[in-house]
Structure 1
Amino acid sequence: MISINLSYAQHYKKKYKYTGHFWQDRYKSIIISKDEYLLACGSYVELNPVRAGMVKAPKDYPWSSYGINAYGKKDDLIDRHIIFDKLSTDESVRKEYRSFVQKMQRQPESMRGEMDHRTIYGGSAFIQDVHKQYKLDAGIKKRGRPRKEKSDVENK
């Protein structure tokens, strides 16, 4: 991912004679539970153009998967996830998804704060299973080298 980000940033900066920071933050990946948590993350991404003030509704943004997921439109460029595939065949499920996204739109900052501080997004049982399976310690470690404890400094 780093090489993709770096090469795209270099290409863009050279082509458009852009200087300064290109990406806002460091790349971060999160382990996501399936089903409703994946739908919540998908709707969060589909609402980004709305939060950025580019469009008033997610359906108005032409480069989003929202039209496919919420209205069943066809697009050969999109690789669909199995959970979103369920949306494509059933209008009542798509209607429920549109309602879900509207609900997320009314509380736009709710998920943003959670995503900033989590490494795993899902129910408590899922989070415990992932911690146990991969021997993870809770939370995100602080950037940089760990500080020396006073006892280590005094012993030298």
Structure 2
Amino acid sequence: MARLPRLFIPRQPQHVILRGNNRQAIFVDDEDRRVFHDRLREAARANGLAIHAWCMMPNHLHLVATPADERSLPATLQAVGRYYVLYFNRRHQRTGTLWEGRYRATVIEAEHYLLLASRYVELNPVRAGLADAPGNYLWSSYNHHVGLSVDSLVTDHALYWSLGNTPFERQRAYAEGFSIPLPAHEVDALRTATQKGWLLGGPEYQARMSLAANRRVSPLTRGRPRKSPANAL
């Protein structure tokens, strides 16, 4: 069966994962992370990609971002990826590919999943045992969101702005959200949708986005449809 093209719907946020080849390290030290961060900021601005949350893990990258058009996300990742692999190979005296291949992404319903996805992304270092709290890991957007730093890579989403009328109110509300554990079923749904490339959202959102994209946005139900009692043998 032919693979469907990547799902894209204008001005809808996505959760994105870019991994190292064979899950090898793509960041060795803070200088690597700084170079990637700065190049990602430049590429995102040039291609109309608004990045709302991010986290650099040793062997992969998470983004929550809204593309302005169909080329925004792939063009950004291609630009930063090509530059960074040349930089990385030269600096670390290696050759060959650095990236796993196709990035993974899912369109998400903002009202339900955007802030959840942002928390999921910024909690990655804690889940991996790299930090005991998200604020103690410097290479994510968490400290920007809670007012401990200013990150020019981040474009705050309207839902973040809705958390309060002042910067302090927004930062406090965002931090308080981390006191509530992420629902396991929501995390599983986000991971599965990102891996498979399907949309993540409620039935009404799925129906609207299917019309907008003119294609399926969720997998087909397996098995034969059930017969109605009137047609049962």
Q: Same fold (TM over 0.5)?
A: yes
Q: Does 1:72 align with 2:147?
A: yes
Q: Does 1:104 align with 2:179?
A: no
SS across alignment from 1:121? coil
Indicate the structure (1 or 2) with the bigger Cα radius of gyration.
1
Instruction: Report the Cα distance in structure 2 between the residues aligned to 1:26 and 1:11, rounded to whole angstroms.
Output: 20
Deviates more, 1:81-90 or 1:5-14: 81-90
Q: Does 1:94 align with 2:174?
A: yes
Higher RCO (CA < 8 A, seq sep 6+):
2
Instruction: Report the Cα distance in structure 1 between the residues aligned to 2:212 and 2:87, rounded to whole angstroms.
Output: 40
SS across alignment from 2:115? helix
Question: CA 1:36–1:93 in structure 2 vs 1: closer, same or farther (change >3 Å)?
Answer: farther
Instruction: Report the Cα distance in structure 2 between the residues aligned to 1:108 and 1:57, rounded to whole angstroms.
Output: 21
Unaligned 5+ segments in structure 2 are 1-76, 220-233
Note the C-alpha offset of 1:13.
1.4
Contact 2:120 2:187 (C-alpha < 8 Å) held by counterparts: no
Unaligned 5+ segments in structure 1 are 141-156
Considering only aligned residues, what root-mean-square deviation do their CA atoms show, in Å? 2.9
The aligned length equals: 137
Contact 2:104 2:194 (C-alpha < 8 Å) held by counterparts: no
Aligned counterpart for 2:124 among listed residues 48, 61, 73: 48
Instruction: Report the Cα distance in structure 1 between the residues aligned to 2:185 and 2:218, rounded to whole angstroms.
Output: 24
SS across alignment from 1:14? helix
Match of 1:60 in 2: 136
Could you tell me the TM-score, scaled by structure 1's length?
Answer: 0.69
- Name the aligned partner's letter for residue 44 of structure 1: Y
Instruction: Report the Cα distance in structure 2 between the residues aligned to 1:137 and 1:113, rounded to whole angstroms.
Output: 16
CA distances 1:39-91 after superposition (whole Å, capped 9, x unpaired): 1111121122223332122121112221232x333415233222223344426
Name the one with the larger helix percent: 1
1:18-37 equivalence runs, <5 A = 18-19=94-95, 21-37=97-113
Note the C-alpha offset of 1:27.
1.3
Could you tell me the TM-score, scaled by structure 2's length?
Answer: 0.49
Match of 1:128 in 2: 207
Contact 1:117 1:139 (C-alpha < 8 Å) held by counterparts: no
Match of 1:13 in 2: 89
